[in-house]
Amino acid sequence: MNRKAMQHLARSLGLQYSVLAQATREEEKAARTAGLPQGYQGDFMPYLDAAGKPRCAAKTRSGAPCKAQGLGHGHRCKMHGGLSTGPATEEGRQAAKEALERWRATRKT
């Protein structure tokens, strides 16, 4: 429902717009999180497992939430946008260093 329609509805019910809008947001949030693991607060927040540790909770291909440990931005795992572990081998570290130098050279011009 758009803002004008919501304001009209609030006026006809004799309520303040902010009260009606807050109630609507809470209902939408409850509907969005219904059936999800406990602690899940939205698309970017983690859910807590039975031990209280944050988990990724990104939707996997099977449709179930990812059970990997959540880290980085939004508590996602490294496969769903969290922190990267970086290059593991010496060749990988050297390639990353060269790529960074090439990128820096393009930024100077």
pLDDT digits (tens, 9 = 90+) for 8-64: 888 888 888 888 888 888 887 776 666 655 555 455 555 677 777 778 878 888 888
Residue type, 22: Q
How crowded is the C-beta side of 10, counted as CA atoms within 13 Å?
A: 17
Q: pLDDT digits over 50-101, tens only?
A: 777 778 878 888 888 888 887 765 678 888 877 777 888 999 999 999 999 9
Q: Rounded to whole angstroms, how far apart are CA atoms 89 and 12? A: 67
To which H or E segment does residue 57 belong? none
Q: What is the pLDDT of residue 32?
A: 62
| Beta strands per DSSP E along 31-97 | 47-48, 54-55
Long-range contacts of 8-16 (CB under 8 A, 24+ apart): none
pTM score: 0.36
